[in-house]
Structure 1
Amino acid sequence: MCMFKGVWEQFQTLLSSPIFLACVSSWFLAQFLKTLIKLFAGKVHSIKELVELLIWRTGGMPSSHSALVACLCTCIGITDGFDSGLFVLSFCFFMVTIRDAVGVRRANGIQANMINRIGNLLKDQGLVQEYKNLKEVQGHSPMEVIVGCILGFFVGIGFLVL
């Protein structure tokens, strides 16, 4: 029972950590803004889609992944110093995440879209019996990533400096 109490106290400390709260807030704010943008653009067609956008869906403006890692990097730089090993680690994590959002995930989505078009065309022409579409994972445009990074930076500043 004593060990569980120690874990519970650590969990409570995590939940009250300004860095943790800033990171979660930046992610949620980006998801909220993304949802509002899609809602006003008429791209939300059901309550299920609205909830999915708000909680989990990837792609779109702004990038919640970028907001979260930018916020984390900003907070660690402010609290531990921009010359600390932890900041270097968070900055490397930031760079990998940004590269993945703009490059790898975006390229995968474009490739999946093209494969789906070819597969459906072959099915329509009767050259294949059945074709199941690949999931077209959306990456981000550079602007979506930049806006996410700016959002994360200012949320981090807001939680730790203001």
Structure 2
Amino acid sequence: MSFLMSLKAMSLKAFIENPIVLSSLTSWVMAQIVKALVVLLGSRKKSPRELVETIIWRTGGMPSSHAAVVCSMATAVGVYDGIGSNLFAVCFFFAMVAMRDAMGVRRSSGLQARALNLLGRLTSDRLGFEYDPVKEIQGHSPLEVVIGALLGIFIAAAFAWL
């Protein structure tokens, strides 16, 4: 029993100390912190709760944490396993799909939801019925994705070479 526990502890330690995991996690945290700073500097009143939500959970905004994480992962895998490895190929195309989705499908869905909510509010005001708004999922602009991708690449490079 203690051997199995020791084996699990060693596996968990190896996972936590893995440079690919560390660079990806650091990229996500840094992107969310930068995003919270952008929100803080870009608006007059933000509650501490909103800033904590931005750091921990909120999507959309500058920079893209999605792009930061997947580019950090792909870069780290490229450095440690080589760009000719099968794992790098999978990570590279996963990053491409995630970034395309962030600025394509998710952004379009959010813009459509915003237009639908505006139309619903206007119609509700005119006709006097209650409208329940749909959730507006935020995607990313191309600039937000590029900045997030660069952040992830630089962080993975720093973990590999510093």
TM-score > 0.5 by shorter chain: yes
- What is the aligned residue count? 161
Q: CA deviation at 1:55?
A: 1.0
CA distance in 1, matches of 2:45, 2:70: 27
Q: CA deviation at 1:44?
A: 5.1
**Aligned AA (2:118):** R
Counterparts of residues 70-149 of structure 1 (less than 5 Å):
70-126=71-127, 129-149=129-149
CA distance in 1, matches of 2:97, 2:130: 37
**Aligned AA (1:154):** F
CA distance in 2, matches of 1:44, 1:85: 48
CA distance in 2, matches of 1:62, 1:88: 24
Unaligned runs of 5+ in 2: none
**Aligned AA (2:12):** F
With 103-112 and 35-44 compared, the bigger mean Cα shift is at: 35-44
Q: Is the 8 A contact 1:27 1:68 kept in 2?
A: yes
| C-alpha RMSD of the superposition | 1.3
With 50-59 and 39-48 compared, the bigger mean Cα shift is at: 39-48
Structure 1 residues 62 and 95: CA distance shift in structure 2, 3 A: same
Structure 1 residues 16 and 73: CA distance shift in structure 2, 3 A: same
CA distance in 2, matches of 1:150, 1:42: 25
Specify the alignment match of 2:157 in structure 1.
157
**Aligned AA (1:48):** R
TM-score under structure 2 length normalisation = 0.94
Unaligned runs of 5+ in 1: none
Q: CA deviation at 1:6?
A: 2.4
